[in-house]
Each structure stands twice: as structure tokens, then as C-alpha cells.
Amino acid sequence: MSLPEMTRKKVVDDINSVLDGMGTFEMFKKLDRNIWEFRTNFQGMAYRLFAFYDKEEGALIVATHGIIKKTQKTPRKEIERANRIRTMYFAQKR
């Protein structure tokens, strides 16, 4: 699924605001030992990007996938999906 242009712009703007020190780190939530959730709200919808750090590359943040969150709790299957992608990423790096 592709996001509308205005939504993509909002997500990118929010990421850049955090990188520039203007945003708040409340936009990030640690979901488990390796996976983080980046939170953006736009036009009444809750968008979530799942990501992990590659410390071997300095401070590289790798986004795995995103969802439109419809409930309070993050679906476990989305966290597991992000962990699978993380495992594949590091396996392919070696």
C-alpha cells in the first residue's frame, strides 16, 4: 500500500524534526530489545514505522515497514515481522 503524498511528507517532516532536534523523542517507543516504533499522527490517523539500529554502520536507523495503527496496542505480529526483517538484514550483510 502506498501512502498519499501529503502523508508521506508529514512522516518525513516529523523524522527530520527529530533529527534536527526540533521534534520530541516521545515520537519513538521501544517495543522490544531491538525494535523501535516511530509515531506520526496526521489527519486523525496513527501511522507507525518500525525500525532498528545498525550500530556497525555508526548510528544507522533501518526502517522495516509501516502500518496504520487502529488499536492502542501494537500488534505482536508487526513486531515479529520487524524482527524477521532485522534478522534477514544482518544475515545478508555478512
pLDDT tens for each residue of 28-75: 889 999 999 999 999 999 999 999 999 887 778 899 999 999 888 999
Average pLDDT on 13-33 reads 84
Instruction: Output the pTM of the full model.
Output: 0.85
Residue 65: the pLDDT is 94
Torsion of CA 20, 69, 44, 47, to 10 degrees: 30
**H-only helix segments in the chain:** 5-19, 76-93
Find out whether 52 and 35 touch, Cβ atoms under 8 Å: yes
Q: Residue 3 contacts by C-beta under 8 Å, 6 or more apart in sequence?
A: 11, 47, 66
Number of domains in the chain: 1
> In angstroms, how far is the first alpha carbon of the chain from the final one?
30
Residues 47, 69, 4: CA angle, nearest 5 degrees? 40
Look up the domain containing 84 and give its range: 5-93
